[in-house]
Amino acid sequence: MHKIAHRAFQVFAAFTLCATFMGACAGTPVVPLKREEIDGAKYKLVVIAGRLDQRVVQFRKRGGGYIGVLVTKGKFLQELVGIADNMEMFKISPVEGVENVYQGVFVSYQGDGTRTEAEVRVSFFKDSFSWDLESANWERVKE
């Protein structure tokens, strides 16, 4: 009986969600997102994979894209030897035809001193950004 009630709830929830979405789309004009200005913006990595970090990266315009430069090391990078301020951690360019989405390279530093580069896709929205590498919480630093 419990499984039947649970399944009925799932069907009802899906129907309600679809009806709400379709009604909202029919009556509301589509407004394009405003491009988030990230030149000069600083973002703090608050939490990554369940651990507090606090590193801060500042994005700077370079050519047709942006570089993300480390301005505060945070808890993890502070413990590594050879990590200097102003190291480039992101090299990203806008994705054609998609507002506030960028792709490029993220430079990661490991506890043993190795450095790896990974392709990254970054989406900015208001006072935060997300990426496709792992679970992380990046928040814009208010100055």
pTM of the model: 0.72
> Which has the closest alpha carbon to 132: 96, 111, 106?
106
Q: At a CB cut-off of 8 Å and minimum separation 6, what does 135 contact?
A: 48, 49, 50
Per-10-residue mean pLDDT, the chain, length 143? 45 41 41 74 90 93 96 88 86 94 92 87 93 92 87
pLDDT of amino acid 33 = 56
